[in-house]
Amino acid sequence: MLKMTKSMLAVGVASAVFAGSSNGAELYNNPDVGAVDLGVSYSAFILQGKDTNTVEDGASRLWLIFSKDLGDGWTGFARSEWGVVLTNNVGGVEFVRNTGGNSLRPAGADGESFFIRKGFVGIKKDGVGELTLGKQWGLSYDIGGVTDNFYVFGGKASGTYNFGIDGGISGTGRAEQALQYDVEILGGLDLGVQFQFTDETIYIVDDDTGDIIEDTDLAYDNSFAVKVGYTFDFGLMIGAVYNKANLKIIDDAGVLPSLDVSDTLLTFGASYGSLANKGLYAALVLTTMEYHEINDLNSIMADAMGAELMVKYNFENNWGVHGGFNYLSDESSGPLNQYELTHIYLGTDYQFTKGFSAYIEGVLDSTKGADGSDIGEDQIGLGFRMDF
């Protein structure tokens, strides 16, 4: 079996955002100079399963936000965000079975305990919109990320974090080298466009030797995305986004069939409520994709579809319950195109105070591999999360 890995790049493990991250603490504010804010989100959990016994990170990170008043309603701003590994220094680019997508690392972070998650600079004005440049959430995440809010699992079927990394090279996750314009108009209409200026190579690694196979690689070229969404006054958001990247398989060694295709992801999403408030939050994402995601054999699926559901209820006594599912199916033809990821999630959490929670979350996993065999593993995670 072959494995795909990006040149000097890699991955990590775990989950997303619950009850909303803190806005952080103001470190500095001078009207003549600008302001600096610090934010921290740390999470770790015990993960248990039939073949699993480990302690993992839950997308732990810290960030600095810089802002400066430019006059006439304009604001200049920048953000630097780093992932922090609390539990170990072990990484690797591989098929990630269960744990959530939001802590998957960008390429280049294998084995590092401190790595770049986001870094961008921009300018904005109410009614005009904002223009940003750098590594940032792609427009696909604005719509597809509404279900990526589990503590331990999730984010496996939306196409956000494709190829086992953070979605940076395709532009659907934390998009690298991206220029993005986003504007909210007419009370609730959200429009966005994104261009990604990237020229990246994913090399093929032989599982038996661990060596890069010469003269065989995947090349990513520029991508673009367009988004439209609308948020109603009563808390309902609906939206759609289309992302397209150029993908080539260049094979002079006869290992893989050569390809020159479009990596596409079409996402529809809807959400209701807020995770930060008491009461109901519900979100649904539906996706269709071509040459965008891999199966358990690390083979690219020519055609696939996905669905994600997330429902949470926060009670007045600071307890919360949540559940949902991820479903990703290979719709390509062929004997090794039977991959079908099926996850059902259930969990509960308790918020001791704003910014500190304990949680327990499990997955019922009935996934089938590309050859039709059962490869699922039920797992349960128990941990803590602190936001500052």
Q: What is the pLDDT along the chain (388 residues), one digit of tens a residue?
A: 334 443 322 223 333 444 445 567 899 999 889 999 999 999 999 999 999 999 998 889 999 999 999 999 999 999 999 998 877 654 443 444 455 555 555 554 555 678 899 999 999 999 999 999 999 999 999 999 999 999 999 999 999 999 888 999 899 999 999 999 999 999 899 999 999 987 767 666 665 666 666 666 677 888 999 999 999 999 999 999 999 998 887 666 555 666 788 999 999 999 999 998 999 999 999 999 999 999 998 888 999 999 999 999 999 999 999 999 999 999 998 888 999 999 999 999 999 999 999 999 999 999 999 999 999 999 999 999 999 8
**Residue 8: its pLDDT value, please?**
28
Please give the pLDDT value at position 164: 81
Q: What is the pLDDT of residue 59?
A: 87
C-alpha angle 197/104/66, rounded to 5°?
Answer: 60
CATH code: domain of residue 115:
2.40.160.10
Distances (CA, A) of 358 to 24, 89, 233, 319: 20, 24, 32, 10
Residues 216 and 256 sit within 8 Å (Cβ to Cβ): yes
How many domains is the chain partitioned into structurally?
Answer: 1
CB-CB contact of 43 with 60 (8 Å): yes
Q: What integer pLDDT is reported at residue 122 of this predicted model? A: 98
What DSSP string describes 189-225? Answer: EEEEEEEE---EEEEEEETTT-PEEEEEEEEEEEEEE
First to last CA, the chain: 43
Two structure tokens written together for 334: 């062929």
Contact predicate 35/26, CB 8 Å: yes
What is the span of the domain harbouring residue 294? 2-387
Predicted pLDDT at 63: 96
What's the pTM value of the predicted model, to 2 decimals? Answer: 0.87
pLDDT (tens digit per residue) in 238-279: 999 999 998 887 666 555 666 788 999 999 999 999 998 999
What is the structure's pLDDT at 255? Answer: 58
Alpha-helical segments (H) within the chain: 139-144
